Each structure stands twice: as C-alpha cells, then as structure tokens.
Amino acid sequence: MSLLLGLDIGTSATKAIIVDDRGVVRGSADAATEVSMPRTGWSEQDPDEWWKACIHATRNAVQAAAIGGDEIQAIGLSGQMHGSVFLPRDADANDPRPIRPALLWNDQRTAPQCDEITRALGAQRLLQITGNRALTGFTAPKVLWLRDHEPKHFAQLGLLLLPKDYIRFRMTGEAAIDAGDASGTLLLDLRTRDWSDEILQAIKIDRSILPPVVESTVWSGSLSSSAARAMGLRAGAPVVAGSGDQMTGAVGMGIVRRGLVSATLGTSGVIFAHAGKSPPIDAEGSLQAMCAAVPGEYCMYGCMLSAAGALQWFHEVVAPDVSYAQLDAEASHVPPGSEGLVFLPYLTGERCPYPDPSARGAFVGLTARHSRGHMARAVMEGVAFGMAQMLDLARGMGSAPIEIRLSGGGAKSKLWREIQASAYGAPVTLLNTSEGSAYGAALLAGVGSEVWGSVAEACDACISVRERIEPDAGMVQVYERSRSIYDSLYPALRKTFDAMRL
C-alpha cells in the first residue's frame, strides 16, 4: 500500500495529511502560524515559521497515522498563493535567511505598483498575456514595492519564491514553481505556461530571480538528508511540485474535468470551474484565469469576500444567544425569497463580480413583518445570489456546470444546500471527503510518483459523491424574481457606497 503526504502551507496554519492509495486519510495534523500586520493594510509572515510548522505537522501526522516516516512514498505541496519570499543570492537551503518577511496574498500596500504595471503593459495586453488584471494581492507588484521602498533589500534579491516553493527549497535544495501558482504572480504567459519576457522587460524584473516553471505532477526534487531528519521522513523521498491552494483544493474535490464546478462557502465564497485546454480569459478580468493542476489545462475562479462569514457576522451581532442550528431552523420556516427581504453581503467590500472596496452590506426591503428567521434566510439567499453571479460569469465563458460540488462551513447546512441548488439552477453535491488542499496535494504526489497515471485517475479512485440535491422548481421560479432585484441593487447604490466611504 502506498502512503502519500500532502502539505498545505496556509495563512493561519500548515496542514499535513497522510493518504493511502484508496484515498483513505490515515492521519493528519495542523500547526498554527501567525500573521504580522505592522501597518494598516500590510500582511506579512516569517517564512521560517512555515518550515517549523511543516516539521511539527508532519511529525504529528505520522504519529497519528501510526506509521514510520520511512513509509511515506512521496510528498506533494500546496500553499497560499501570491505571497513573495525574497531570498538572497546563493541562499543555503539549510539556512536560507530570507531578506525580509514575506508579503502575503492579502497585503494591500501595492496599489501604486499595480497602476505602474497596468500603464507599462496596457490593461488589455496584460489581460491577454496573464488572464488577469493587476491586483494588489499578486506577486509582481510586491517585487516592485521592494524595489521602490526597500532598495537595499532589493539589491540583495537573488531568488523569488512563493510560500510552498520556499518549503520545497528547504526540503530539497531545488528552486521550482508549478504553472498554477506561477499564473498567480502576474508574470506568467498563460498560453506558453512560462515566464513572459514581454512583462519582465516592461516592468524591469530580471528573469534570473525566478525559478523554473514545471507542471504540478512533476517530481521537483528529493528530500534531503537534513530535511528528512528534521521531518522524521526518509531521505530521497520524491517531492512533487503541487500547486497553489485553489488548484490543489480543486483536485481534492475532483474538479478536473469540464462541467465540474466547486462552490466553497468559507469566510469568503469561491466559485471554481475547470476550463479544459484553452485559457479562459475574461475580457473584463472579473474572474481569475489560471493554469490548472492538470498538466496543460486551465481553470477559472471568482471570490466574493463575505460568504459564510456573513452568516457568522449575523450570528454574532444579531443572534449570539442561539446556536447555528436554531438559526437554521428559524430560517427554514421562512418561505423562499424571505418575503421580499434582500441582503447584500458586501461586509468587507467586494472582489467579484464587483471589485469595489467601498461596497457595503445592507438589508433592503425590511418591514415590521420580518423576523430574525427572515433575516437569517435573507443572508443565506444573498450569499447564494452573489455566488450565482460568479457562476453566471463562468457560464458565459463556456463552463456550463453539470454538477456543482459544495464545500466549506456553509455546506453543513441542509437549508443552505437547498438554497444554493435552486439559486444556481443546477444540482449540487457533497463528497466523501472534505480535507481540501492538503488532500489534493497528496493526490498530486501519487500521480508524480506513479501510484496513478493521471490526475483524473487519482480523483476517480479516491473521490465520490455521497449526496445530491436537485433544484426545486418552485424555488427556482421565486429566485428568478429575487435575483433580478438583488442584481439591480449594487448598481443603484454604488454612488451611495462611495459617498459613505470613510
């Protein structure tokens, strides 16, 4: 029996999971990491804390699985996307000493650098090459910020890595990045799946600081003796490239064929669609276009900033005295459409489909008749409508869903699952696994070490549907009207939101 280790370098924790060749989780463990916010809008982490967390989580997962570390056949990597790890020239894998803390995906300091990149390439040319607009979370603007604000550090820069690729470097001494994570840097040509010389020349970034780009299933190095001792594993174990957490999370849900879409209701909400062999470039840049973890194929996704987080806010502020189950029960007694009450879930601004930090949340249509249950259901419906807007964008780009696979905390509610099916107008399903990105990384490790012949084969062997919910015809009809009202509200209120900005 083959045992595979998946490592996911998250923002708040690193997760290690051990999976066998039937897809059964044999052991898992988390190790927390802290985020530093030295100024408003800044978000940083010490890369060495990720390495310590990897060691701790791996050892605990091996112990939980009741196996020897030498039984792990291969290791796959996943991690938070877009973060920048700046290493000096001739960095030693055993003690690389990053030049400064890493700037993370949610760091907002680089708006001027995003403008610079857009001016240098032109907005449409940037979209044509990368499939994305210049956003503050991406990696390329962070490099320019280092150049502009910390020139002494920039002068030392010899190697730029993303979070999981820093862990690869620590584990193997090899510098590499997969096409999926690389497509979130704003430096990759989506069509060639390699660094864009046109972009590098336009914004004056030296190609020599960038690692080679490989596919997610490639054996990208072997575990060194020193790393093996630290992690309690065997030296020489293959380390497979893996991908960014969105792509590995998709693999962990089997989203590896056209027609399969995932809808994840965590703090934020993500619609992720597999797009096949052609880059899915949105002319407006509303959806992110990326290379998939399936070699040679592509994906797209959109993210709304408040999803299950909106219900958490409502629970804490309006209904702290009851359980989520009670709130769910109250909402279930309210008819679809919440008797005219509509909720806008823009509690922390919005990213997709409206990239607007000034957007605000709102209950619209509130009357004396409406109860707490009405409000709770309106929150669920409003989030589902926002997710449906992103799904419609994916449909418009040729990714018509035949099945939408649910995950995240919002998928635990039977009512919210039913609301989503009817708001999306498509069947929604729950799977036999909910382990997410680390699980996907383990499956990629299996493909890279030839346990399975392809990513699709790995998913077919390990992932199955355990529950299917069909849209309700009556609810679909009600939601068509509610959705039209929902869709009209942001455009009507946009100027008001701008005026309310502090």
For the stretch 319-345, pLDDT in tens is: 999 999 999 999 999 999 999 999 999
Kindly state whether residue 497 falls inside one of the protein's structural domains. yes
Kindly state whether residue 39 falls inside one of the protein's structural domains. yes
Mean pLDDT across 375-400? 94
Rounded Cα distance, 263 and 425, in Å: 13
Spatial CA neighbour of 299 closest among 78, 423, 131: 131
Q: Which helix (H) or strand (E) holds 327?
A: helix 324-332
Kindly state whether residue 443 falls inside one of the protein's structural domains. no
Same domain? 221 vs 321: no
pLDDT tops 70 at residue 464: yes
Mean pLDDT across 458-477? 96
End-of-domain residue from the set 220, 248, 276 = 248
Rounded Cα distance, 255 and 458, in Å: 12
Same domain? 258 vs 379: yes
Beta carbons within 10 angstroms of residue 208's beta carbon: 8
Kindly state whether residue 467 falls inside one of the protein's structural domains. no
pLDDT tops 70 at residue 125: yes
Kindly state whether residue 462 falls inside one of the protein's structural domains. no
Work out the burial of residue 95: count CB atoms within 10 Å of its CB; fewer than 13 is exposed, 13-18 middle, 19 or more buried.
exposed
Kindly state whether residue 454 falls inside one of the protein's structural domains. no
Same domain? 104 vs 234: yes
For the stretch 446-460, pLDDT in tens is: 999 999 999 999 999
Q: Using 50, 70 and 90 to split pLDDT, how confident is the model at 283?
A: confident
What contacts 6, CB < 8 A, 6 or more positions away? Answer: 15, 16, 17, 18, 19, 75, 76, 77, 78, 248, 437, 438, 439, 440, 441, 442, 443, 444, 445
DSSP notation for 388-453: HHHHHHHHHTT---SEEEEESGGGG-HHHHHHHHHHHTS-EEEES---THHHHHHHHHHHHTTSSS
Give 126's strand partners. Answer: none
Kindly state whether residue 444 falls inside one of the protein's structural domains. no
pLDDT tops 90 at residue 137: no
Same domain? 317 vs 210: no
User: Token digits for 337?
Assistant: 């459409």
Rounded Cα distance, 33 and 30, in Å: 10
Locate tokens 């418009």: which residue? 396
> What was the pLDDT predicted at 502?
65
Rounded Cα distance, 351 and 216, in Å: 27
For the stretch 253-279, pLDDT in tens is: 999 999 899 999 988 899 999 999 988
Mean pLDDT across 417-435? 94
> What was the pLDDT predicted at 203?
97
Same domain? 224 vs 286: no
pLDDT tops 80 at residue 77: yes
pLDDT tops 80 at residue 501: no
> What was the pLDDT predicted at 20?
96
CB 102 within 8 A of CB 172: no
> What was the pLDDT predicted at 40?
82
Q: Are strands 13-20 and 3-9 parallel, antiparallel or unpaired?
A: antiparallel
Same domain? 232 vs 285: no
The CATH number of whichever domain residue 17 belongs to comes to: 3.30.420.40
Kindly state whether residue 286 falls inside one of the protein's structural domains. yes
Give 44's strand partners. Answer: 36, 103
Rounded Cα distance, 181 and 174, in Å: 16
- CA–CA distance from 293 to each of 168, 327, 394, 402, 459 (Å)? 17, 38, 18, 21, 12
DSSP annotation of 472 reads P
> What was the pLDDT predicted at 351?
84
Same domain? 305 vs 408: yes
End-of-domain residue from the set 195, 215, 248 = 248
CB 92 within 8 A of CB 98: no
End-of-domain residue from the set 199, 215, 248 = 248
Rounded Cα distance, 430 and 465, in Å: 6
> What was the pLDDT predicted at 173?
97
Rounded Cα distance, 482 and 485, in Å: 5
> What was the pLDDT predicted at 54?
97
Q: Please report the sign of the dihedral spanned by the C-alpha atoms of residue 321, residue 324, residue 326, residue 332.
A: positive
Same domain? 265 vs 243: no
CB 425 within 8 A of CB 314: no
* Domain coverage including residue 73: 3-248
DSSP annotation of 368 reads T
Spatial CA neighbour of 247 closest among 48, 5, 6: 6
- Count structural domains, the chain: 2
Check if 48 is active-site: no
Report the percentage of the chain scoring pLDDT > 90. 84
Question: Over the Cα atoms of the chain, what is R_g?
Answer: 22
Q: Which candidate in 165, 245, 282, 328 is catalytic?
A: 245
Same domain? 157 vs 305: no
What is the pTM assigned to this prediction? 0.90
Same domain? 233 vs 258: no
For the stretch 224-259, pLDDT in tens is: 999 999 999 999 999 999 999 999 999 999 999 998
More confident residue, 472 or 501: 472
Same domain? 399 vs 306: yes
Same domain? 244 vs 267: no
Q: Using 50, 70 and 90 to split pLDDT, how confident is the model at 292?
A: very high
> What was the pLDDT predicted at 199?
98
> What was the pLDDT predicted at 159?
98
For the stretch 145-173, pLDDT in tens is: 999 999 999 999 999 999 999 999 999 99
Phi/psi region, residue 140 (left: phi>0; alpha: psi -120 to 50; beta: rest), is alpha
For the stretch 295-324, pLDDT in tens is: 999 999 998 989 999 999 999 999 999 999
